Amino acid sequence: MKQTGAALGLAVEWLKNCKSLFVLTGAGVSKESGIPTFRDALEGLWANYNPEQLATPEGFRKNPSLVWQWYDSRRQKVKDVVPNPGHFALAELQKMVPEFFLCTQNVDGLHIRAGSSDVVEIHGSISRFKCFDNGHVQTEVPYDLKDPPLCECGSLVRPDVVWFNEPMPEKLLKQSFTAAEKADVALVVGTSGLVYPAASLPFHAKQSGAKIIEVNPNRTELTDSCDLFLAGPSGEVLPQLVEGLK
């Protein structure tokens, strides 16, 4: 879907003159890699469960095997997909602006696999594990386990992702707010803007005078506060932005 020349041209203009770019991505940026967005991740087998049952400490305590298997199926899916042109465009964009900060809500690791560096994974990573009681880091966790393995301390092992009702990694959150407040342009890609505090980051950038550009096929909770809305899939729109900067 070609962007209207005007909107795309303006976005390219802002990026050309940008000193410090803050980028927030959500599940939409991985959709074209074949990863369902968070709210439609509960397809098929998982359709009868809601995220609150699967992505919460209570859900894990109540049924560790169910939650473990849901994350294992998502980790397997991530293993079999590749970054899409949207991820690669952001990795290129990082080299084209003086200062670049990428904060992602995604746990799939695709930005890193596309070559982005210093990615802040504010909701953690599906490929990292820790023990439930003490946060002991686990390595080499096999696929296809039916039950969560045990840590040496005896606690159940869990994915190192942020669940509902859990605090976000304080340090990463602070870094992200500082970067958002410093930015003169913020790019918000593929997020419904429903989950806080991540969704408040673009507002922090705006309060500090940044211009906000949103890339999404659909309007979202954030759209009305954005200065520019580029309607379309990020796998098509982001490469067009990068092309325009060359």
Q: Looking at 10-18, 111-119, 204-212, 214-222, which segment touches ligand OAD (CB under 6 A)?
A: 214-222
Candidates 36, 40, 87; CA nearest to 236 is: 87
Q: Looking at 1-9, 23-31, 89-97, 113-121, which segment touches ligand OAD (CB under 6 A)?
A: 23-31
Question: Contact between 39 and ligand OAD (CB under 6 A)?
Answer: yes
- Whole-number minimum distance, CB 164 to ligand OAD, in Å? 6
**Beta carbons within 10 angstroms of residue 143's beta carbon:** 9
For residue 87, indicate whether it is catalytic.
no
- Whole-number minimum distance, CB 156 to ligand OAD, in Å? 19
User: What dihedral angle (degrees, nearest 10) is formed by the CA atoms of 221, 4, 87, 52?
Assistant: 20
Binding mask 221-240 for ligand OAD (x = CB under 6 A): ------------xxx-----
Which residues are paired to 228 by β-bridges?
213
Among residue numbers 44 through 63, which ones bind ligand OAD (CB under 6 A)? 55
Could you tell me which residues come within 8 angstroms of residue 48 by beta carbon, excluding any fewer than 6 positions away? none
- Catalytic option among 111, 123, 136, 204: 123
CB 103 within 8 A of CB 120: yes
Question: Contact between 192 and ligand OAD (CB under 6 A)?
Answer: yes
Using DSSP's 3-state secondary structure scheme, residue 236 falls into helix
**Beta carbons within 10 angstroms of residue 223's beta carbon:** 15
Q: What is the largest CA-CA distance in the chain?
A: 59
Which residue in 74, 75, 87, 123 binds ligand OAD (CB under 6 A)?
123
Residues that bind ligand OAD (CB under 6 A): 26-29, 31-32, 37-39, 55, 105, 123, 161-162, 190-192, 194-195, 216-218, 220, 233-235
Active site (catalytic) residues: 123
